Structure 1
Amino acid sequence: MNQNSQQLDAVVIGAGQAGLAAGYHLARAKLRFEILEQSPRVGDGWRRRWESLRLFTPAQHDGLPGLPFPAARNTYPGKEEFAAYLENYAAHFGLPVRTGVRVDAVTAAGSGFAVDTARGTVRARNVIVAAGANVFPRIPNAAAGLDPAISQLHSSHYRGPAEIPDGEVLVVGAGTSGAEIALELSAGHRVLLSGRPTPHIPDPLLRYAGGAYWRFIHSVLTLHTPVGRKVAATFHQRGAPLIRISPKDLDRAGVVRMPRFTGTAEGRPVFDGGASAEVRTVIWATGFRPDLDWVHGPERAPSGWPQTTRGVVPGVPGLYFVGLPFQYALTSGLIGGVGRDAAYVVRDLAQRVQEPSVVAAVPEPRNGDREDGGRGKAEHAGGTHTGP
């Protein structure tokens, strides 16, 4: 796949929901682009998750631009359904996805970029990195102090109860992923769940006022508003809100809730306050850290995430990101939020291509999807981004 003689308008790295949303807008803008995906099939990132995983948002908010998700409102699709949707989305719009292509480096070269892969170098005037936020498992350094007899795995490697040894299980991390794993395992294990519970979104709120709730997290909790900036400042320190299950569900299932994990003592996990526990297995539902060393140029925040202005990288013209948590709003890291961010990024990219007809082909967001919440004022807010 050596394309040194042909410079594309854009290369998108990653064919998950963020990369496909970017591809949709690039196609509408009639730009020459490719989407590079390292997995053998579109959607494989979802297929590798645990067997019982369902999306954390209801079906009406699980569609990408131009193609609603084909499921009833207020249902929560499974991972296989969503993986199939992504594969169908790419085919439906004829997006130029190349699977099985791992990108090793992105480097500024002349008036564009060199995208180095095992199959050769692709040249492009612009690059959109949509490689996903769930990359390297984040595991506390103190995990090394646990007794070697204790089985350890990150939530990204969890597949189901059948793979967990008999005996007591500690799940560290009380966000949605940790809570769902703890609840599933409680049927056959004594389970401890460590961490400060994240806020619970009551089912009636989603069922009867879900539209208002979505508008709040999509159009109010943004980097444009004081309350949104306040939430963004600590967003990476907490797990996702609990949806579908509540702390009461955990209590009814017999899950023992523990304080925050703080370290180890004599090979056992220790919690805030000094208590310890003897367990057979520890599952780390502690999130992820970015793997972006292969992207040369952007400045990084202490968290490791790139500094961007709504996905546009200051000081590196032509380099963009889509799919960063809280890239612009709380919904930026959710399926239903990436389309707006992708539209913003592609509009800036099309202006760089300097073809007036191309710029006109990238539509302004509809009023309900305006980046500024519909107030008609353009806002370019920067931020540090973390979290799913």
Structure 2
Amino acid sequence: MNTIVIGAGQAGLSTGYHLRKLGQSFVILDGNARVGDQWRAQWDTLRLFTPAKYDGLPGLPFPGERWNYPGKDEVADYLESYAAHFDLPIRSSTRVDTLERVDGRWAVDVGSERILADNVVVATGTFGRTPSLPDFAVDLDPAIRQLHSSEYRRPGQLKRGPVLVVGASHSGCDIAYEVAETHKTVLCGRDPGQLPIRPGQRGQGLFWPVFLFVGRHLVTRRSPIARAAMEELRFHGGPMIRVKRADLLARGVERVHDRVTGVQDGLPVLGDGRVLEVANVIWATGFRQVFDWIKAPVTGEDGWPRELRGVAADVPGLYFCGLSFQYAFASMTLPGVGRDAAYVANRIAARSRADRSLAAA
């Protein structure tokens, strides 16, 4: 096997598309039963922030009305149809346990099976991760309903009584806005800023082409300012997009910019000492990148892979696709992942050609 791609989300599928165009042999391994299941598991009202016009992966436009903002199930179905349309070789329900270097090749362990390959693309992206929770979360009163944002589906999951949403990036704001319709809600966390336009409003036809051009071509890792933005996005989340400050205010969300720093008598405590009497806590606190299953020195001090444009710095034959800010602000989005996938696939093809030339010499 020349290449194993781990993950059949948008990053893995895009990589597979480009590998096939380049005549490379590969297989995509994915732990889910169906392509798109990771999207199906998101909260019910989740919608993309970009219109369908810009959401297609390489070679296949996103179906439907161009200025529709697809829901999570539409995205899942599109990814499944994408895999079928290009007949990509996918092994579903195949969870990778470990990845290690053995005699100059990569060994991928799947249960008792070991698969060898010259190259591996880790395409679990920014979504192949473990929920990030503070250590003191376990000290909250067991009567408080705790959910991470990845577990939240709808307000009906919550107990009666006030809700604390911790983390005010776009997902935290969206969830706080939704639950505030039926629960008294406090949203806690730093203000990440907000985009100047609301998805779907007048003027979007002018805004999105400019915004996506900037996000793809100007805000890249070549720029010192963008490298600072990369750290901000990777560790603190993105700005408010659909739900704005005024929306939260209008719905009665109490906005607190202080941090939750601990627990007192089973209740969450803010940095200023205020104790919040709540019945529910939703942790919109992001995810920890976990790469300890890769038995090779791939991460830096910040816990992220040492890579440039998805090419591992120190380990031959190892690549990444779908990372937040892999090359540009748009890298982890549907409109941006295709370019990164093409770059990775081209590097794999170039490595394969070099290996064949060396063998023939």
Identity %: 46
In structure 2, what is the equivalent of residue 283 of structure 1? 282
Q: 1:149 aligns with which of 136, 143, 147?
A: 143
Matched, 1:107 2:72: no
What is the CA–CA distance in structure 1 between the aligned matches of 2:300 and 2:277, rounded to whole Å? Answer: 37
Give the 5 Å matches for 1:327-346: 327-346=326-345
Structure 1 residue identity aligned to 2:91: R
Structure 2 residue identity aligned to 1:306: P
**Deviation of residue 123 (structure 1)?**
1.3
Matched, 1:167 2:166: no
Of 121-130 and 198-207, more deviation after overlay is shown by 198-207
**Deviation of residue 85 (structure 1)?**
0.3
Please say if residues 182 and 193 of structure 1, whose CA atoms lie closer than 8 Å, have aligned partners that are also in contact: yes
Please say if residues 132 and 324 of structure 1, whose CA atoms lie closer than 8 Å, have aligned partners that are also in contact: yes
Secondary structure of the residue that 1:354 maps to in structure 2?
Answer: helix
**Deviation of residue 205 (structure 1)?**
6.1
What is the CA–CA distance in structure 2 between the aligned matches of 1:220 and 1:114, rounded to whole Å? Answer: 38
Please say if residues 57 and 335 of structure 2, whose CA atoms lie closer than 8 Å, have aligned partners that are also in contact: yes
What is the CA–CA distance in structure 2 between the aligned matches of 1:119 and 1:61, rounded to whole Å? Answer: 41
**Deviation of residue 207 (structure 1)?**
4.3
Q: Deviations over 1:122-156 (max 9, x none)?
A: 11110001113222000111222322221111010
Structure 1 residue identity aligned to 2:235: Q
**Deviation of residue 275 (structure 1)?**
2.1
Please say if residues 301 and 307 of structure 1, whose CA atoms lie closer than 8 Å, have aligned partners that are also in contact: yes
What is the CA–CA distance in structure 2 between the aligned matches of 1:154 and 1:279, rounded to whole Å? Answer: 16
Of 347-356 and 26-35, more deviation after overlay is shown by 347-356
What is the CA–CA distance in structure 1 between the aligned matches of 2:273 and 2:49, rounded to whole Å? Answer: 33
In structure 2, what is the equivalent of residue 384 of structure 1? none
**Deviation of residue 357 (structure 1)?**
11
Q: 2:44 aligns with which of 16, 41, 51?
A: 51
Of 32-41 and 240-249, more deviation after overlay is shown by 240-249
Give structure 1 stretches of 5+ with no counterpart. 1-7, 359-388
Secondary structure of the residue that 2:330 maps to in structure 1?
Answer: helix
Give the 5 Å matches for 1:1-388: 8-118=1-111, 120-134=113-127, 135-201=129-195, 202-203=197-198, 206-259=204-257, 260-354=259-353
Aligned residues: 351
- TM-score normalised by L of structure 2: 0.93
CA RMSD of aligned residues (A): 1.8
**Deviation of residue 97 (structure 1)?**
0.6
What is the CA–CA distance in structure 2 between the aligned matches of 1:357 and 1:103, rounded to whole Å? Answer: 28
Secondary structure of the residue that 2:296 maps to in structure 1?
Answer: coil
Structure 2 residue identity aligned to 1:239: G
Please say if residues 220 and 328 of structure 2, whose CA atoms lie closer than 8 Å, have aligned partners that are also in contact: yes
Secondary structure of the residue that 1:106 maps to in structure 2?
Answer: strand
- TM-score normalised by L of structure 1: 0.86
Secondary structure of the residue that 1:153 maps to in structure 2?
Answer: strand
What is the CA–CA distance in structure 1 between the aligned matches of 2:356 and 2:114, rounded to whole Å? Answer: 29
Structure 2 residue identity aligned to 1:248: A
Q: Deviations over 1:264-285 (max 9, x none)?
A: 2222212233322100000000
Secondary structure of the residue that 1:332 maps to in structure 2?
Answer: coil
Give structure 2 stretches of 5+ with no counterpart. none
Please say if residues 194 and 261 of structure 1, whose CA atoms lie closer than 8 Å, have aligned partners that are also in contact: yes
Secondary structure of the residue that 1:283 maps to in structure 2?
Answer: strand
Structure 2 residue identity aligned to 1:344: Y
Please say if residues 125 and 324 of structure 2, whose CA atoms lie closer than 8 Å, have aligned partners that are also in contact: no
Secondary structure of the residue that 1:330 maps to in structure 2?
Answer: coil
**Deviation of residue 314 (structure 1)?**
1.6
What is the CA–CA distance in structure 2 between the aligned matches of 1:304 and 1:51, rounded to whole Å? Answer: 31
Please say if residues 179 and 193 of structure 1, whose CA atoms lie closer than 8 Å, have aligned partners that are also in contact: yes
* C-alpha distance 9-356 of structure 1, shift in aligned 2 (>3 A): closer
Secondary structure of the residue that 2:19 maps to in structure 1?
Answer: helix
**Deviation of residue 119 (structure 1)?**
5.6
